[in-house]
Each structure stands twice: as structure tokens, then as C-alpha cells.
Structure 1
Amino acid sequence: MKNVEKLMENIYLIDGFDLGMKERTGAYVLTEAELTLIETSASPSVPFIIDGLKELGYTLEDLKYIIVTHIHLDHAGGAGLLLQQCPNAKIIVHPKGFRHLSDPSRLIAGARAVYGEKFDSLFDPILPIPAERLIAMNDQDELTISADCTLTFYDTPGHANHHFSIYHPKVNGMFTGDTVGIRYATLIPEDIEFYLPSTSPNQFDPGKMLQSIELYKSLNLSYIFFGHYGVSNHPSEVYKQVSYWIGEFVQAARNGYAAGQTPEQQMQLTGEELLQKIYANLREQGVPENHDVFEVLRLDLEVCSMGLIDYLHKQK
């Protein structure tokens, strides 16, 4: 199965088939002098990443840096498993994520609370990473990966406090993880660009997310590289849509919070209202109700609703 796409010179995207879905979560390969990977997805995606690197003509010994934008398991869960097979690589992580990759016990407990009995099939195994193989990058720290390519790291909270974004100067692009949301790649064949914020538990903060978007705007980027999924060359459209939906998400959560008797009810009501709003928006754009995108949206909104209600409970 061919799972590698060339995006531009020296930048490739490997499909990790996260959750068994095509174009769900990707790993970016920067084929500079120091071979660099951005994101690993969860452990079940690691075989696809290894196959993708082989397809590009690389061995696991060639890999020098594995960067994770944040430590949520669909972005970094496979890092320990992959690193076992990459003797010359180091993992680069936000300072607030460092200890959780070294000792993932709290990460595992948190994910088990969210995903319950699905946890093992989605994420197992999650392996600890020796501290000497971890590098923390602070705001505006740099990493040179070739003579003409130095990446810059920016602290970009909103989705999570342990989140950075990576600026690539040669293409004037930013690898944004989940900070500026999700690109629904399954709608691209319909000529529809659709972006939503990702508000999963438990550090979602709408104010911080909007501040991070303002940072992206200030850099006048040409490209946004999403954790989910692929690249957009219309950053202004990304900012516009995600900023609009942040407001809609929070308002739906306030409604659900007020109407529900328990957190479970509040989450359910939030998710239902958001799904109705998104259905209506996509119907206006000509998307039929049986489109594959709605299967993905239902999954995303279930997790987003958890993060939204968690945020409101903390506010109260």
C-alpha cells in the first residue's frame, strides 16, 4: 500500500492510518542532511511510518530527529516504540511534555479515562523514553537540520500547554499539530476546505488558542501543515474558519453545560448541538449527509465535547 505523498521539495507526508482510517493522522518527513520526522501518531501507526521511510529509500539508522508537537497519544504515543528501532535518533518535545515521555504513566492513565476499553487497541504499547534521548525545545529555540534549513520552535498553547509549533523557513510554513485545528482531507476532492478547532481534554483554552492563531498570522505564513491531515496553502482561510468555530464550540458547550444534569449529559448535548450546526454548514456547501466525513466528525466531536465541558467546569 502506497502511503507516502511528496508535498514539496524535501517534505513528504506518510499516512499513519490512525484508527484504521486513511488521511487521519500523518507523519512529516524532512529529507534534509539530518533526516527529521515530525509526529509519530500512536503505536499502531509505527509500521506504516517504517514502511514509508523505506519507500523513500531510508533506513531507521538514518533518522536523526523525531519531533512531536505535543504529547497526546495520537501524535506522540508511538515515539517510544519507534525510537527503539532508531539507534541514532533523539526525540524533541515541549519542555512541559519531557517528563511525560520519560515516564508515560500519567499519560496512559489519562487516556484510559477518556478511551476506556478501546485504549489497548488504539494506543498500546506506550513505551518510556530514556531522558538522555529526549531534547526539550523552548519558545524560539532553533534546530539546524542542514546548511540551509534551521527550524524554529514556537510555544503555541490552546489545544494543550505542552504544545509547540515548528517553523520551516525554506517554505515559510508551520507544522501546527492541533493548535489551529483539523483539516478534513476527505472533503478536498469535493473542492471544499473545511477546518475545525480541536478541543480535546484536558488543557483546551479558547483564549490561548486564539493568541496562538494571532502568532501564526503575525508570521505571514504561506503554508499550514496539520497533524490531521495534510497541508493548506490558504492560511487566512484556516484562521477565519477555526476562529469562527472556536466561538461556536464554546457557545454550544455553555448551552450543554446549562441544560445537562451531569457531565455526561452536558457532553452529549454539546456534541449534538455542534453536529447539527456542522451538518447545516456542510449541507449549504453541497455535502450529502451520507458523506464519509460525518463518521470522522462524530468521533472528533465526542472528544471535543469532553474537552469543552472540562474547560467550563474548570472555569466555574
Structure 2
Amino acid sequence: MTTTEPLHLEQRIHLIDGFDLGLPRRTGTYVIAEEELTLIETGPSPSVPYIREGLNKLGYSLDQVKYIIVTHIHLDHAGGAGLFLQECPNAKMVVHPKGARHLVDPSRLIEGARAVYREQFESLFDPIVPVPEDRLIVKADGETLTIGPGCTLEFLDSPGHANHHFSIYDPVSNGMFTGDTAGVHYPQLKENGLHLVLPSTSPNQFDPDKMLHSISRYRERGLDRIYFGHFGMTDQVEDVYQQVTKWLPVFVAEGEAVLADGLGFEELASRLLNRVADELQTAGISAHHEVFGILKLDLEVCSMGIIDYLQKRQK
């Protein structure tokens, strides 16, 4: 198992790379070093050994973990929640009201992920362990969780990517843990001096209007930092909003054109990849850059969500 040192993001916040899909800088687990040791996101079950090792490198034991928060219940963010919770005897799991029952009974999550990932499902997500109901804490919009003398986290309902999605505001860093609502950040391009963020429009609850509303709520906060589900932190918060609001109508318009041509998500994924590739290559990024493999996968899943949204809208 290849591991990396946890990333030091802020005096009390680290990020453990979970190597989702076997890739570095894909998903991770945030560690907030407050009086009540708090983690945000577990990733899928194959990421659990990386969390364990990362905590060890930071000098923490599993019995010190008090809260594990998942922004939403998609398996790449919360698939390992039940498995990891088994190793943390003093921890509670914190989840959106619309996500709680699916952690207790993950059968529908499994069914949905199998439909998207097909034969890759087992290697990417197994095992998926139910979370005991008595270890769940549900937090609705505006509710809070005090994890230290000077830190009370606040939860914001933030649909658009999923209806079971909340974001977590950290008053100490004036930052927001945005899961997938503020898009996917591609740190692979950082060495090239580029800051790329694209909307995450995966099935089956993607809604562009809700996403834009959630982003407007972030804007109202005057944030200094965004902590992405995929991957890492940025202080270029206004640039994040601008990129997502720029690309979102492009994604939807391309989807409408594909449907009008009687074609499916494969064609949409190809068109979106070409649009993004054109922009990156104009900025000097080689067509052989590692980011394109990740973009191809992301845009395939995004295209499924866009087609699903448009077909529902037609009905």
C-alpha cells in the first residue's frame, strides 16, 4: 500500500489521501484537531487503511476519534463509513437527514453504484457495512456541532449534486467543506499553474438550479477557504464560484444538444471532454497530461447525471 504524508492545510486541519480508484489526490479525509477529534469524509471502504495509517502518522489513535462527518452518502465519500466506524469505538457518525436511513440500510446505494460502475463495483467499493442507528447523529440546515472551546461547526443544506448533501462551515478558518456541491478540484494541474474546478453533475439527483442556489449561500458567507471532496483546499474561492457557474450551463446545453440528436451519455462525455481539453490545451496543457484520464472518468459520470436530469425534466 503506497501512502503519502497527510497534507498540512491549516494549523489544525490535515488531509489524508484516500487513494480512491487507486489514484493519488482523488478523495481524502479531513482531520480537524480540536478537543473532539473530528474527521470529514471516509471515502470508500478501500480508503479505510489509508485513513488508519494517516491518523497514525499524525499521532492519533482510533479511539480518539469522536466525530466522523460525511457531506453526503455517495459511496466515494461515505462508502467506508460503516467499516471505519467499527474501528473507532468512541465515534459517532454525522449525516444529512435524507442520508441517515441509507447508511443504516445501504442496499439502494449499492444498487445505484452497481448501475454506474458495473463490473468495477467490487474492487472500488466492497465491503459496504451498515452503520448502527444508535451511532448516527443527524444534522439539518442551520444546526451546529461544538467540537472544541472555540469551534462550533455549522451545517448548511447544500443540494444540487445530491439532495442528501450538507456542507460544513468551520468558523476558525472561515472555510467550508463543500463535498461535491462546489465542484471537483484538479490539483494535478497545480504544477502547471492552473486552477481547474468543474461541476460535479453525477446521477441521480443533479439539479443545476439547486447547485447555483447552494453556491450563492457559500458566497454570502464571505469564505476564505473551500475544502473540496475532490481534492484539497483552495483560497481562490471566488474563482471556484466563477468556474462552476461558467461550466454548468455549458454542461447542460451540451446535454440538450446530445438528446436532440438522439444520442446518449457516451456522446455527451466525449463532447464535454473535448470542450475542457480545448481550454486546457489553449493554456498549454499537453494532451498526454495525467489529468485527462481522471477527466474522462469524471465526465462520463457527469454525463450520466446530466442526461438523467434532462430526461426527468422532459417528463
TM-score range, shorter chain: over 0.9
Offset, 1:284: 1.2
Aligned to 1:237: 239
Aligned to 2:144: 142
Aligned to 1:312: 310
Alignment of 1:217-296 (within 5 A): 217-260=219-262, 265-296=263-294
Aligned to 2:159: 157
Distance in 1, Cα, partners of 2:194 & 2:4: 25
Distance in 1, Cα, partners of 2:4 & 2:130: 30
Aligned to 1:205: 207
Q: In the TM superposition, what whole-angstrom CA distance separates every residue of 1:157-197 from its partner, at most 9, and x where no partner exists?
A: 00000000000000100000000100001001111000000
Any unmatched runs of 5+ in structure 1? none
Aligned to 1:128: 130
Distance in 2, Cα, partners of 1:56 & 1:275: 38
Aligned to 1:70: 72
SS in 1 for 2:297: helix
Aligned to 2:111: 109
1:48 to 30, 47, 50: 50
Structure 2 letter corresponding to 1:160: A
Any unmatched runs of 5+ in structure 2? none
How many pairs align? 312
Q: In the TM superposition, what whole-angstrom CA distance separates every residue of 1:71-126 from its partner, at most 9, and x where no partner exists?
A: 00000000000001100001000000000000001111111111111100000000
TM-score normalized with structure 2 length? 0.98
Structure 2 letter corresponding to 1:281: E
Distance in 2, Cα, partners of 1:284 & 1:241: 16
Distance in 2, Cα, partners of 1:86 & 1:279: 43
Question: Is the Cα contact below 8 Å between 1:3 and 1:48 reproduced in 2?
Answer: no
Structure 1 letter corresponding to 2:86: Q
RMSD: 0.6
Distance in 2, Cα, partners of 1:219 & 1:82: 32
Aligned to 2:295: 297
4+ runs of 1 displaced by more than 2 Å?
none
Offset, 1:272: 1.1
Distance in 2, Cα, partners of 1:214 & 1:4: 31
Offset, 1:293: 0.4
Distance in 2, Cα, partners of 1:8 & 1:85: 26
SS in 2 for 1:314: helix
Distance in 1, Cα, partners of 2:108 & 2:282: 43
Task: Identify the range of structure 1 (152-161 vs 1-10) with the bigger mean alpha-carbon deviation.
Answer: 1-10
Question: Is the Cα contact below 8 Å between 1:43 and 1:123 reproduced in 2?
Answer: yes
1:94 to 93, 96, 111: 96
SS in 1 for 2:287: coil
SS in 2 for 1:154: strand
* 2:189 equivalent to 1:191: no
Question: Is the Cα contact below 8 Å between 1:165 and 1:175 reproduced in 2?
Answer: yes
Aligned to 1:35: 37
Offset, 1:266: 1.4
Structure 1 letter corresponding to 2:219: K
Distance in 1, Cα, partners of 2:156 & 2:233: 19
Question: Is the Cα contact below 8 Å between 2:25 and 2:230 reproduced in 1?
Answer: yes
Q: In the TM superposition, what whole-angstrom CA distance separates every residue of 1:223-267 from its partner, at most 9, and x where no partner exists?
A: 00000000010110000001100011001110111112xxxx410
Question: Is the Cα contact below 8 Å between 1:40 and 1:79 reproduced in 2?
Answer: yes
Distance in 2, Cα, partners of 1:113 & 1:20: 20
SS in 1 for 2:264: helix
Distance in 2, Cα, partners of 1:2 & 1:301: 27
Distance in 2, Cα, partners of 1:17 & 1:2: 10
Structure 2 letter corresponding to 1:51: E
Distance in 2, Cα, partners of 1:116 & 1:271: 18
Distance in 1, Cα, partners of 2:30 & 2:60: 14
